[in-house]
Amino acid sequence: MEFLVNNENMTIEIGKKLGSLLNKGDVICLNGDLGTGKTHFTKGIAKGLLIDDYITSPTFNIVNEYEGRLKLYHFDVYRVNDPDEIYAIGFDEYIFSDAVSIIEWSNYIEELIPDEHISVTIEKLPEKGINFRKIVINHFGNRYNYVKGITL
Amino acid sequence: MRILSIDSATEAASCSVIEDDNLLGEITFNYKKQHSVILMTIIDNLLKNINKTINDIDGFVVSKGPGSFTGLRIGMATVKGLSQGTNKPFVSVSSLDSLAYNLAYTDGIICPILNALRGNVYTAIYCFDDNKLKRLTEYMVISLDELIPLIKEKNKPVTFIGDGIPLFKEKIKDSISNVKFAPTSLNFVRASALGELGLERLLEGEYDDLYTSAPIYIRKSQAEREYEKRTGKDINE
């Protein structure tokens, strides 16, 4: 499904709706160029998970952990050269745990992503205006059918 | 010789103190991996309750893996710290060896399976030969479908043990006829089993190097995985 947004609050709002529906062990892959609003989307998900902490991008520390309605692992694998590096930190133990995992730049570690996951892609729409974004949410696996219930 | 052993390769966190042929005490929790939180506390608790201090320990034993990456690192780091601080030797022993040893003197073969995620298990095949634990294969990370033929070709009764059982029990029962499963009371890693195996080695003067000893993680390298993906063949064939 696709959403057209023209400000960051709308990005956060969609994230929040997704966040409020997430279950234990869900995996969300988040892709989009620098500055498209991936971190804002994650902030929204965190709100939906009832996390009060301030969310920052884990670009330099690879993963941040938060406590909420469910535990959240927020990965950013932008700096990773080789999927083996991420595997070696014990990636599987994170993503196959009871926590929700969000993985920014998951396309860099495709071989490690489980078949069943939610994929969120954010794209700039410069022809419409500087703040316009297209947010595409796809899901793989029946456990994620609830995604269809998200509306703006 | 009095040794302290620690196993943190799986969900369980376990520590024990063994004095020669005598197990002085053991604490095991098999609940939500929380090794970094409880490991030092249970060691402290155990020592206090047997009226010993860390300086009464002559050597250490730690689980070498395979198993949880995080757990293995916590165990290894803890034991290296204790070993260096007390200037006493340590030795690392495979968690699979220690699980198999839980089923000492079982007839036929013993197959520990630990959940390695993505449908795989960490495993090796063992038997007791002349009352000694003998490993018949390499340590492996393989799918259950790959493991079953390896078991069948041994053509012996088999007993499974380990945290992979709940996940794979039905499938194993359907594929192998002469099969048993470890009872609940034995079906987790125990620092005492690990410690006993480690103590033997320490007594023989065998110990790990503080700087080079590392857990065994077992994973095919990316080059191997790519080769297999490209050719559809196992690199070892």
Shortest Cα–Cα distance, A90 to chain B (Å): 5
The predicted structure's pLDDT at residue A81? 85
Please indicate whether, in this complex, the C-beta atoms of A90 and B117 are within 8 angstroms of each other: no
Per-residue pLDDT, averaged over B46-50, amounts to 98
| Average confidence score pLDDT of chain B | 92
Please indicate whether, in this complex, the C-beta atoms of B117 and A82 are within 8 angstroms of each other: no
A2-141: CATH, from 3.40.50.300, 3.80.10.10, 3.40.800.20, 1.10.238.10? 3.40.50.300
Per-residue pLDDT, averaged over A37-59, amounts to 94
pLDDT higher than 50, residue B237:
no
Q: How far apart are CA A122 and CA A2, in angstroms?
A: 10
B residues 117..146 contacting A (CB < 8 A): 117-118
Three-state SS for B15? strand
- Contact criterion met (CB below 8 Å) for B59 and B3: yes
Please indicate whether, in this complex, the C-beta atoms of A88 and B69 are within 8 angstroms of each other: yes
- The CATH number of the domain holding residue B197 is 3.30.420.40
The predicted structure's pLDDT at residue B222? 59
Whether residue B60 sits in one domain with residue B122:
no
Q: B68 and chain A: CB distance < 8 Å anywhere?
A: yes
Whether residue B8 sits in one domain with residue B114:
no
The verdict on residue B28 lying in a domain is yes
Shortest Cα–Cα distance, B61 to chain A (Å): 23
Q: B173 and chain A: CB distance < 8 Å anywhere?
A: no
- Estimate to the nearest angstrom the gap between the alpha carbon of B15 and the chain centroid: 13
Q: Per the structure block, which two tokens stand in for B156?
A: 């012996």
The verdict on residue B181 lying in a domain is yes
Report the percent of chain A where pLDDT is more than 90: 87
Angle between helices A38-48 and A8-21 (to 10 degrees): 40
ipTM > 0.85, yes or no: no
Residue B26 phi/psi, 5-degree rounding, is: -150, 135
- Contact criterion met (CB below 8 Å) for A150 and A14: yes
Whether residue B10 sits in one domain with residue B80:
yes
Whether residue B195 sits in one domain with residue B78:
yes
Q: What is the pTM of this model?
A: 0.85
Dihedral of CA atoms B197, B202, B206, B212 in degrees, nearest 10, equals 90
Whether residue B79 sits in one domain with residue B112:
no
The verdict on residue B197 lying in a domain is yes
DSSP B232: S
Split at pLDDT 50, 70, 90, the class of B63 is very high
Handedness of CA B22, B27, B31, B33 (dihedral sign): negative
Number of domains in chain B: 2
Per-residue pLDDT, averaged over A93-117, amounts to 94
**Which tens digit of pLDDT belongs to each residue from B110-134?**
999 999 988 889 999 999 999 899 9
The enclosing H or E element of B7 equals strand B2-7
pLDDT higher than 90, residue B218:
no
The predicted structure's pLDDT at residue B119? 85
Q: B223 and chain A: CB distance < 8 Å anywhere?
A: no
Q: How far apart are CA A3 and CA B64, in angstroms?
A: 50
Whether residue B198 sits in one domain with residue B88:
yes
pLDDT higher than 80, residue B6:
yes
The verdict on residue B89 lying in a domain is yes
Please indicate whether, in this complex, the C-beta atoms of B221 and A88 are within 8 angstroms of each other: no
Please indicate whether, in this complex, the C-beta atoms of B68 and A90 are within 8 angstroms of each other: yes
List the domain range (segments joined by +) for residue B29.
2-94+189-219
The predicted structure's pLDDT at residue A61? 87
Whether residue B109 sits in one domain with residue B31:
no
**Residues of chain B positioned with their CB less than 8 A from the CB of A90:** 68-70
pLDDT higher than 60, residue A27:
yes
Whether residue B86 sits in one domain with residue B141:
no
pLDDT higher than 80, residue B32:
no
Per-residue pLDDT, averaged over A55-82, amounts to 92
Considering just the CA atoms, what is the radius of gyration of chain B in Å?
A: 18
**Residues of chain A positioned with their CB less than 8 A from the CB of B69:** 88-90, 93
Q: Count the neighbouring beta carbons within 10 Å of the beta carbon of residue B32.
A: 11
The verdict on residue B236 lying in a domain is no
Whether residue B108 sits in one domain with residue B88:
no
